[in-house]
Amino acid sequence: MNDISEENLKNEEFIKNISRDLLRQKKVDLIIGYGKGTIPTNSAPIFVRKEEDIKKLIWNNMCHANLARYLVPPLVKYVNGDKIDLKVGIVSKGCVGRALIHLAKENQVNLENIKIIGITCNGMINRRRIEKELCGKEILNISVSKDKVIVEGHDFKESYNFKDYINELCKTCQIKEPPISSSLKDIIEGSYMEKTSIEDDFKDLSDYESKNPEEKFKIIEGLLSECTRCYACREACPMCYCNLCFVDQNRPIWFGKTTEMSEIFSFHLIRAMHMAGRCVACGSCSSACPMGIDLNLINRKLEKIVKQRFDFTAGLNPDVVPPMMTQKMSDNEDFMLEEH
C-alpha cells in the first residue's frame, strides 16, 4: 500500500501553492478549503482571502466535509451597490467535484465562477468507529503513518489498519479525483478524471438484500435507533439546499418533532427519496452525525436502484440531465410495482 502520509503532504503542498497563485493572480476572490479543527479527529472548512492565510490550509484523512455545501446559495460581494458573484477557488476531492457538477445541473452554482483545485483522495477515516472502540477515552492526537492510523491519548497509543478504518463509502468509491469532462478542463487546477460513468457491482449490499422484508426493517430500525433528529446530516449535505425543508414546514405539518421511531423513519426515508439520483456518495451526512449513524446503507441502496433503472450516477457527466429532472410520457412505470 502507498504511504498515505506522504500522499497527504504532497496534496497539502499542492493546495497551498495553487491557492497562492490563484489569489496572487486575482483569478479568485477567495479559497474554500480545509483547516485545523477544534478536535484532533476533525478538520474545519475555512475561507481564505489573503495570501498570508494560505498557511492555514491543510489536507489529511479527517477532511470529511463536502465543501460544495458552502456554494449554495452563491457567495456574493457588493461593488458600488451592485451584487456580484464571487470568484471562488475550492479544494476538491472526487465527491466534491461530483457535487459541483450536479449542483450546476440543478442551476445552483455557476461553474464559470469556480476554480477547482483537484486532488487525489485516499479515503476519510471513520472517526466515530474509532471513538466507539476507545470507549470514551479522550483522543489527543490522530495521524496516519504509512498504512496505519495512529491514535494517542493521555495513557494510550493505538494503531489501526488504514484500509479497514476508512468510511464504508470510501471503500467502494471509484471517483478519487474531480470527474471533469473535456468541456470543463479550463476550470480545473490539478488532478482530475475524465470519467462519465462507472460500473458498480454493489456487493456491499449483498447481505442486506438477502434478507426478507421483516429482517430489512429490523436492520434499518437498528441503524436509526439512536437518531436524535438534530438534522446534522441535512446541514452537512451539499444537496440539501431547500430554503424551507419539509421537516420545518407547519402548513401542512408532515409529522411531529419527537424522537418516536415512526417520525425518525419518516424524516430519514423521505430525505433519502429526495437524495435519489442526487447523492454523490461523499459521506458527509454520516461523518457529521454526533451519534455515529452510518447512512451509507440507505444511500447506496437508492444509488443502486437509480443506476439499474436509469443507468445514471450523480455528478459524473455534466452533459446528461439527471433522471429526476426529466419526464417523458414513455417513461417505464415499473417503479410502482413491488420489487422482486
- Residue by residue, DSSP assigns 88-127 as EEEEE-HHHHHHHHHHHHTTS--GGGEEEEE------B-H
Number of domains in the chain: 1
Q: Does the residue 136 lie in any domain?
A: no
Q: Does the residue 152 lie in any domain?
A: no
Q: Does the residue 256 lie in any domain?
A: yes
Q: Does the residue 292 lie in any domain?
A: yes
Residue 180: per-residue pLDDT: 87
Residue 252: per-residue pLDDT: 79
Question: pLDDT tens-digit profile of 180-237?
Answer: 887 788 999 999 998 888 999 999 999 999 999 999 999 999 999 999 999 999 999 9
Read off φ and ψ for residue 157, nearest 5 degrees: -150, 115
Q: Please state, in angstroms and rounded to a whole number, the distance separating the CA atoms of residues 277 and 166.
A: 24
* Burial (Cβ within 10 Å: 0-12, 13-18, ≥19) of residue 129: middle
Question: pLDDT tens-digit profile of 137-178?
Answer: 999 999 998 889 999 999 999 999 999 999 988 998 999 999
Q: Does the residue 247 lie in any domain?
A: yes
Residue 258: per-residue pLDDT: 85
The alpha carbons of the chain give a radius of gyration, in whole angstroms, of: 21
Cell numbers given for 199? 460500473
pTM of the model: 0.91
Low-confidence ranges of the chain (pLDDT < 70): 1, 332-333, 335-340
Residue 338: per-residue pLDDT: 59
Q: What is the largest CA-CA distance in the chain?
A: 66
Residue 79: per-residue pLDDT: 83
For residue 123, the tally of other CB atoms under 10 A from its CB is 20
Q: Does the residue 284 lie in any domain?
A: yes
Domain that holds residue 303: 203-335
Q: Does the residue 315 lie in any domain?
A: yes
Residue 339: per-residue pLDDT: 55
Q: What is the DSSP letter of 194?
A: -
Closest CA to 67 of 83, 87, 43: 43
Q: Does the residue 236 lie in any domain?
A: yes
Category of 2 on φ-ψ map: left (φ > 0), alpha (ψ -120 to 50) or beta: beta
- The answer to whether the beta carbons of residues 287 and 236 sit under 8 Å apart is yes
35, β-bridge pairs: 44
Residue 156: per-residue pLDDT: 93
